[in-house]
Amino acid sequence: MLRKGLLAPIRANRPSHSSKAIRQRKTSTNRTLTALSTLSPSSAAPFAVAVSGVEKAFGPTRALAGADLAVRPGEVVALMGANGAGKSTLVKIISGSLAPDAGTITLGGRTVSFASPREAKAAGVATVHQATDQAGAGGLTVAENLLLDEFCGRGPLFVSGRSIRKRAAAIAAALDLDLPLDRDFIDLRPAERQLIAIARAVAAKASVLILDEPTSSLSTAEAERLFTIIRRLAASGMAILYISHRLGDLAAIADRAVVLRGGVIVGEFAQPIDFPAAVTAMIGRRLEAAAHSGEASTAPSILSIRNARLVPGARPFDLDLRSGEVVAITGTLGSGKSRLLRVLFGLTQLDQGTVTLDGAPWLSSGPAASIAGGVFMVAEDRWASSLLPPETPGASIAGTIALPHLPRWFPSGILDTMRERAVGNDAIRRLGIKAKNADDTLDQLSGGNQQKVVLARWQAAPCRLLLLDEPFQGVDVGARADLITAIRNSQSASATLIATSDTEEALEVADRILVMRDHSLFAADDGHGSLTAAIGSVETAETRTQP
């Protein structure tokens, strides 16, 4: 259960990129770090890892604009931030994957500079990434993976299978791992792969461990096992930087939370962490102020789902969408958001439950039947699902918009290119697509403008239910605002269901927000409550429900 504290942020400010503001932040950060030293009994010891004034730009985009962060030995610090806040860039710099444009990194009080992840690991910085298939090597056994760093370093030239097993067993025993040492890494579950990566960090005597969304694909029991290991490592003196969107994780494991927004630290919170204030710092405004009015709640029902179970063993749920309503489902990777949209579009089936569309049973046999029934979908990967290679006939803006509607628009089989261009030019004007005309091909457009074309495709014909899977992914802020306006302005008769892993996106676009976890809907925010409380109820439910 979430613990709501009354402690105000030690420091909370809006990001500024001027040199004067950066100097002020550095001075403020020094005061902050001095204050934080009183929170740990080991205040006399140097920070295990500290970054000061770190900046990083990719072309005109500033990912980090003077970030400051420090973690003491034995401390678990949560790094919070919305998508695009700079979390991944900061982690890549600490772990040696990127070089900063400015700023310093210190380990144990000593200034360091890493040219590669291997140099960072040799210095004592270990990173366990969200993608667990990168945590080891398929084709090698558990024992061999536990010794992988030694094999890749200056280990012995010749080793026997017996010696490998003996040394691997000692590493596994240190973390109470009970995995068969002769099992192939590729056969392990995500939780087991993570434990292998953590065990390697312990064997390498890492002083800093970075965990990037470590519970995103874990069950409740597996996550609790991970927490037990993290607590044990922290107690041994290891510094841990923990990145997660799950507030329940942070309440359970973090000693302190640091909020990154716009490439700078905008808030720091000690336990008990005030999560409503932390999330407000993360998105830059109060959650309750961001929701739409919810006036569609009395409108006629378009979609009704009853006793639905997406996969065997998941908790059944109900869902209703009304005319003119925009509903967002938010949740972490693998929570089931995309699967629900795929069910409604006919790409897969429910494990159990019923669906009605406009009061009639709805069970699509596939995309063609869905489109004929007025159910449209924008998939997560626009190039794989919606766009044609530029050399393909019909790969223009006009052709891309018209493609799924050709049988209805031109039943004789004779194309009316004038009509296609008229629809394309209307979309360019209405959505603010930056293009010369409707004959431009999609490879000439930016990612945001490509996504506008994909959305325009489904707004070009009568729609009952519009399904959008991560519609703002890879889209800049300006294009996102245009897309949101287009989505909101087209909802007089249809309903829209959006799947997004970004809470800020959900708040900007939706009348109502649902939270999905373990392939089930656990909580909702109708605009009058707190999304933080909704997420908290998900985490509470997880203690009672196994996936």
Burial classification of residue 514, based on how many CB atoms lie within 10 Å of its CB (0-12 exposed, 13-18 middle, 19 or more buried): buried
* Amino acid (1-letter code) at residue 48: A
Per-residue pLDDT of the chain (547 residues; tens, 9 = 90+): 222 222 223 233 333 333 333 344 434 444 333 433 333 434 456 899 999 999 999 888 889 999 999 999 999 999 988 767 888 899 999 999 999 999 999 999 999 999 999 899 899 999 988 766 667 788 888 888 888 877 665 555 456 677 888 888 888 887 777 888 889 888 888 788 888 888 888 888 899 999 988 876 676 777 888 899 999 999 999 999 999 877 778 888 999 999 998 899 999 999 888 877 887 787 776 544 344 544 545 778 999 999 999 999 999 999 999 998 999 998 776 789 999 999 999 999 999 999 999 999 998 999 999 999 999 998 887 666 666 666 677 778 888 888 888 888 888 878 888 888 999 999 899 888 888 898 888 888 877 888 899 898 888 888 899 999 988 876 766 677 788 888 888 766 789 999 987 776 787 888 888 888 889 987 654 443 445 555 544 444 443 333 3
**CA 296 to each of CA 90, 104, 318, 467: distance values in angstroms, whole numbers, following the listed order:** 42, 52, 18, 18
Cβ neighbors of 361 (< 8 A, separation 6 or more) are 354, 355
Q: Judge residue 151's burial from the number of C-beta atoms within 10 Å of its C-beta, 0-12 exposed, 13-18 middle, 19 or more buried.
A: middle
pLDDT in tens, 474-517: 676 667 778 888 888 876 678 999 998 777 678 788 888 888 88
Q: Which of 202, 210, 280 is nearest to 242 (CA)?
A: 210
- According to the model, what pLDDT value does residue 311 have? 93
**Nearest CA-CA partner of 376 in 278, 302, 271:** 302
- Would you state the structure tokens that stand for residue 127, as one six-digit string? 């990173």
How do residues 301-320 score in pLDDT, each as one tens digit? 999 999 999 999 999 999 99
Q: Report the distance separating Cα 245 and Cα 242, nearest Å.
A: 10
Rg (C-alpha) for the chain, rounded Å, is 25
In single-letter form, the type of residue at position 254 comes to A
CA gap 544, 310 in Å, rounded: 19
Tokens linked to 398:
């006009």
Going by their DSSP bridges, the two strands 76-80 and 239-243 should be labelled as parallel
Mind listing the domains of the chain with CATH numbers?
1-124+206-282 (3.40.50.300), 136-205 (no CATH), 285-374+463-547 (3.40.50.300), 383-461 (no CATH)
Nearest-angstrom CA–CA distance, 252 and 234: 14
Q: Residue 496: which of 468, 458, 471, 469 has the closest Cα?
A: 468
pLDDT in tens, 325-381: 999 998 776 789 999 999 999 999 999 999 999 999 998 999 999 999 999 998 887
Quote the DSSP letter at residue 236: T
Give the list of residues 6+ apart from residue 213 with CB closer than 8 angstroms, or none.
130, 243, 244, 245, 332, 333
Contact 369, 346 (CB under 8 A): yes
Q: What whole-number distance in Å separates Cα of residue 27 and Cα of residue 17?
A: 15
> CA nearest 182: which of 165, 197, 167, 198?
165
Strands 110-112 and 125-128: unpaired
Alpha-carbon span 436 to 424, nearest angstrom: 11
ω before 272 within 30° of 0 (cis)? yes
The pTM is what? Answer: 0.59
Sequential DSSP letters for 326-370: EEEEE--TTSSHHHHHHHHTTSS--SEEEEEETTEE---SSHHHH
Answer whether 137's CB lies under 8 Å from 188's CB: no
